[in-house]
Structure 1
């Protein structure tokens, strides 16, 4: 079997990020770590979702355009390999927009409004009934992204699982309408840390709420962010026993500390008393600095040559355009949206 045949036989992954700003530790824990591992065993497509980013940023399109490269720098800095993963730009794949339009006929407004992820994000942004139509239809656009590549695996955080479920509902309706399985269903692949809280402990880490640690954070920025972290409000003195559960510092240690035995010893010490919050925070700061320093240095090298990164994006987008157009053609034909050839004159 040739290398191209081996590659085509591997399961397909589609994942990506909205280009609203540089990525942070929540992205790494939520899906980047999985992408790094899976790019060696799967055909992986990584989407820079600039069109979806417009759903709640239409008043600032320059922000979206600027962050296409910023997110690409982060992908490459953490170790995404363009030889293994196809990195592509959503807005440059016209088949995705047409698939979204077609899929909107196979889902109701009430079903979109019931999607737990969308409900939570509408509340978080304070849209109430002024929600942009594009934002409400975000699950449909994501279904188009996933199915255009015929992906069967989608690495996501726990909060994104309802979007995968809605994708599969649309897939089943399309396949029933066509009368055969044109599109495959996709499975969500959760990371070991399904959701990383923000440094304030009140919500998931998010660029929009300012409670995140960017992948490009300096040692001083990391130290300041860890210093703000929520611990145990009942742990007033180092001698007091403390709670590990719900303690953001220990959540981050679970996610990023390389020595599991050391973390368990810290937890036991904290629970019985005699271990101060600042000592634990210093330990976490050292771990995060050691983890992020090489990423920040690699990112700086990529940012110094944006032309080369843009060439990577153009090559990946060209390859993705071929794949997504083929899926659109198949769905169109299955739904009867083709012009029949005129009969030859007698």
Structure 2
């Protein structure tokens, strides 16, 4: 795939901390599948950033990045259209992160709302250097390939604004070689977990992964929390507080109103409601299972996709770093007379 900056370039990705689940599909993956035919799309397997919270288990990264790549391919990401690459294998990103860190203040990072929120959620009294510098690393992810569009949720907007500030500061200090990205904020739905208490998350054990078998889907949906005030089938229910109803809205929206009416009137029981949405989810996942089996039977194809994508990312990164070094006056040349700037 040839680079074409006449077309907007999208940068998105996932930390390699585990398999993707239905929440990822609804919240971001489905959108990426739609966008891949409109934009030059880069998908980052963020194994370095995964270490900001999983630094004690680096060996897990290799396994997870292949699992996530299978999730991408199974869901419909086309490797002929999309550049899928491994963050740690593009050293230009690390180099750019280091350069940016020279003029980003610690106070700016400490006051980043997303950093503060995530640190509180994880109970961090002391912030690790890598965790605190996550927004700087993310700025390097976005700018190394000169991405112009970054799809994010509202909670990630502070990171994108930090990137924009870094780009402006760099261009003012040295030369206008970097592009200022725009955040693409859509109505990203958050799928409620099976426990009904929080968003779907594999770490909380309340998720249905994209590689779930048909039986696994049925079993997990069967134990999903519904309207706790509804005791008997004939009792009127409240779909607005039922997590299972949100699955109907996400995966069977055309029939959601019928489900809601049956729930409110007490003519549709929770067992049947769950069976219906389980079938819908399995209908969604079945083509993914078939595609996954194809790639699992030929693992070299997955490696080839990652190698090709990472090579393209590196080539673009090298060109960006050539421009960055030239702008900073760090494009040294060596000859018999010594170092020439």
Question: TM-score over 0.5 for the alignment?
Answer: yes
Give structure 2 stretches of 5+ with no counterpart.
Answer: none
The CA RMSD measured in Å over matched residues stands at 2.4
Q: Report the alpha carbon displacement of residue 181 of structure 1 after superposing the two structures with TM.
A: 5.7
Are the counterparts in 2 of residues 157 and 194 from structure 1 also a CA contact under 8 Å?
no
Residue from 161, 174, 183 that aligns with 1:187: 183
Are the counterparts in 1 of residues 154 and 185 from structure 2 also a CA contact under 8 Å?
no
* Alpha-carbon spacing, 1:67–1:4, altered in 2? closer, same or farther (3 Å): closer
Are the counterparts in 1 of residues 248 and 255 from structure 2 also a CA contact under 8 Å?
no
Correspondence for 1:290: 283
* Alpha-carbon spacing, 1:250–1:15, altered in 2? closer, same or farther (3 Å): same
Correspondence for 2:330: 337
Q: Report the alpha carbon displacement of residue 276 of structure 1 after superposing the two structures with TM.
A: 2.1
Correspondence for 2:274: 281
Correspondence for 1:231: 226
Question: How far apart, CA to CA, are the structure 1 residues paired with 2:214 and 2:128?
Answer: 39
- Cα-to-partner distance string for 1:191-218 (whole Å, 9 max, x where unaligned): x543222222322222222221110001
- Cα-to-partner distance string for 1:127-179 (whole Å, 9 max, x where unaligned): x2233221221121111101111111122344333322322222222223235
* Alpha-carbon spacing, 1:92–1:234, altered in 2? closer, same or farther (3 Å): same
Moved more, 57-66 or 93-102: 57-66
Query: Number of residues paired by the alignment?
Result: 338
* Alpha-carbon spacing, 1:275–1:307, altered in 2? closer, same or farther (3 Å): same
Question: How far apart, CA to CA, are the structure 2 residues paired with 1:180 and 1:26?
Answer: 39
Are the counterparts in 2 of residues 31 and 157 from structure 1 also a CA contact under 8 Å?
no
Are the counterparts in 1 of residues 19 and 64 from structure 2 also a CA contact under 8 Å?
yes
Question: How far apart, CA to CA, are the structure 2 residues paired with 1:327 and 1:145?
Answer: 12
Q: Report the alpha carbon displacement of residue 107 of structure 1 after superposing the two structures with TM.
A: 2.6
* Alpha-carbon spacing, 1:158–1:199, altered in 2? closer, same or farther (3 Å): farther
Q: Report the alpha carbon displacement of residue 287 of structure 1 after superposing the two structures with TM.
A: 0.6
Question: How far apart, CA to CA, are the structure 1 residues paired with 2:112 and 2:234?
Answer: 46
Question: How far apart, CA to CA, are the structure 1 residues paired with 2:161 and 2:225?
Answer: 33
Correspondence for 1:43: 40
> 2:312 matched to 1:319?
yes
Correspondence for 1:306: 299
> 2:198 matched to 1:203?
yes
SS of match in other structure, 1:245: helix
Are the counterparts in 2 of residues 112 and 139 from structure 1 also a CA contact under 8 Å?
yes
Q: Report the alpha carbon displacement of residue 109 of structure 1 after superposing the two structures with TM.
A: 2.5
> 2:68 matched to 1:75?
no
Correspondence for 1:213: 208
- Name the TM-score, length of structure 1 as normaliser: 0.89
Are the counterparts in 2 of residues 175 and 183 from structure 1 also a CA contact under 8 Å?
no
Correspondence for 1:22: 19
Q: Report the alpha carbon displacement of residue 87 of structure 1 after superposing the two structures with TM.
A: 1.1
Q: Report the alpha carbon displacement of residue 340 of structure 1 after superposing the two structures with TM.
A: 7.0
Moved more, 292-301 or 313-322: 292-301
Q: Report the alpha carbon displacement of residue 4 of structure 1 after superposing the two structures with TM.
A: 5.2
Are the counterparts in 2 of residues 21 and 67 from structure 1 also a CA contact under 8 Å?
yes
* Alpha-carbon spacing, 1:163–1:225, altered in 2? closer, same or farther (3 Å): farther
Correspondence for 2:105: 108
Are the counterparts in 2 of residues 196 and 205 from structure 1 also a CA contact under 8 Å?
yes
Q: Report the alpha carbon displacement of residue 44 of structure 1 after superposing the two structures with TM.
A: 0.7
Moved more, 203-212 or 152-161: 152-161
Give structure 1 stretches of 5+ with no counterpart.
Answer: none
